[in-house]
Structure 1
Amino acid sequence: MVEVEKRRLRATGRSDLTKKVVWVARDEGDGAGYDVSSIDLATGEKLLIKVKTTRGSKTTPFFVTQNEEPVFRERPEKWRLYRVFEFTATTRIFVLDPPLDRAVNLPPPRSRRRFVDDE
């Protein structure tokens, strides 16, 4: 996903920002509540990206961890979910922009953390 983000920035003419893309989950551990940090071109602020991958279809349910939930609830304007699906076949991706509850069924805070894409 780091390379996807770098390509996105280059495609908009902002190659200078590619050095700010960080694979947080690899470099700092998996407890941050997101996997990659990048730059939101609209605001210039840090963008927090969580990647959810499945071999299944676009609507395959996924889980959100206790580390991820507070981040997307408290900083929804900075948090994005990149949903990678059909991973081993014809890998595809879509992005869920905030608010997340507009795109998926969210349980009440701190209850079951299984989210299902509405589409």
Structure 2
Amino acid sequence: MNLPLCRSQQKGYKPAFNYQRQLHQVVLSHIAANLQELDVFSNAADTPVEAQPHILNWANVLDPDLPERISSVKEIQRDYLARKPNYTERERNNRSLGERGEQFVLDFERFRLEQAGRPDLAQDVKWVSKEKGDGAGFDIQSFTVESEEELFIEVKTTNCGKYQPFYITDNELAYSLQWNQQYCLYRVYDFKNEARLFRLQGAVEQYVHLQAKNYKASFN
């Protein structure tokens, strides 16, 4: 039977996949060229929340789609503008948001292991950064379900979206490389509204572009 094409199949109504792909690349290129503009939102990204976000379903927290690593990054044009940031308030906000994000991941890991039928492992998940302090190279010590190996989790939390840049220390980077088979960075985003997270398994440098913000200066 020679049936007429529906409107979506006729010329002029077909999905313009080439334009969609181009638009996708244009958006990513704009992000790469204007990373410095994202710093303007750093205060909003670091603002602490009064209470942990309400989670309707823990099963929907994990975002399987990782941010796409932009292939080329335009060199940032420095503005050299004088500012008077409130470092005390920013540090307090960062610490508060960071702790709430780590608590969020701690609860998520216990849920994940319990759902996998391993409540014994769930009860052994440890909040290392709170119990022992910073400097271990990770925040949460959890487990893999299959092999029961230790899983070392670093948590980075923001109130902004999944493409918001984050800061990571040299110690954390080194740990992710040395323990890449057991290391995972959990990026918690949109924490203030409806928190979700994605996971970067292994060495962090394979997923992101790294830009030095501070240097250690010495005479030897």
Same-fold call, TM cutoff 0.5: yes
Larger radius of gyration: 2
Residue of 192, 203, 208 corresponding to 1:104: 208
1:17 and 1:89 mapped to 2: Cα distance? Answer: 30
Q: Secondary structure at the match of 2:192?
A: coil
Give 1:101 shift. 3.6
Q: Deviations over 1:52-98 (max 9, x none)?
A: 00111100011111221111011111110110001112211111122
Aligned runs of 1:25-64 on 2, under 5 Å?
25-64=129-168
Distance in 1 (CA, whole Å) between partners of 2:204 and 2:169 is 15
Matched, 1:83 2:187: yes
Q: Which residue of 2 aligns with 1:13?
A: 117
What TM-score, normalized by structure 1, do the two folds share? 0.83
Could you tell me whether the CA contact under 8 Å between 2:173 and 2:203 is conserved in 1? no
Q: 1:22, 1:93 → 2: CA distance?
A: 19
Which structure shows the bigger proportion of residues in helix conformation?
2
The runs of 5 or more residues in structure 2 that have no matched partner are: 1-104, 214-220
**Which 4+ stretches in 1 moved above 6 angstroms?**
none
- The question of whether the paired residues in 1 share the 8 Å contact of 2:189 and 2:195 is answered with yes
Aligned residues: 110
Distance 1:99 1:42, change over 3 A: farther
**Letter aligned with residue 10 of structure 1:** E
**Aligned position for 1:116:** none
Q: CA deviation at 1:99?
A: 4.4
**Greater percentage in strand:** 1
Offset at residue 42 of structure 1 (A): 2.8
Separation (CA, whole Å) in 2 of partners of 1:94 and 1:20:
22
Q: What amino acid maps onto 1:41 in structure 2?
A: V
More displaced 10-residue stretch of structure 1: 61-70 or 27-36 = 61-70
Amino acid of the residue matched to residue 120 of structure 2? D
Using a 3 Å threshold, how does the CA distance of structure 1 residues 99 and 31 change in structure 2: closer, same or farther? Answer: closer
Query: Unaligned stretches of 5+ in structure 1?
Result: 114-119
- Identity over the aligned pairs, expressed in percent? 36
SS in 2 for 1:32: coil
Counterpart residue identity of residue 161, structure 2:
S
TM-score by length of 2: 0.47
Distance in 2 (alpha carbons) for counterparts of 1:59 and 1:19: 32
User: Aligned letter for 1:112?
Assistant: A
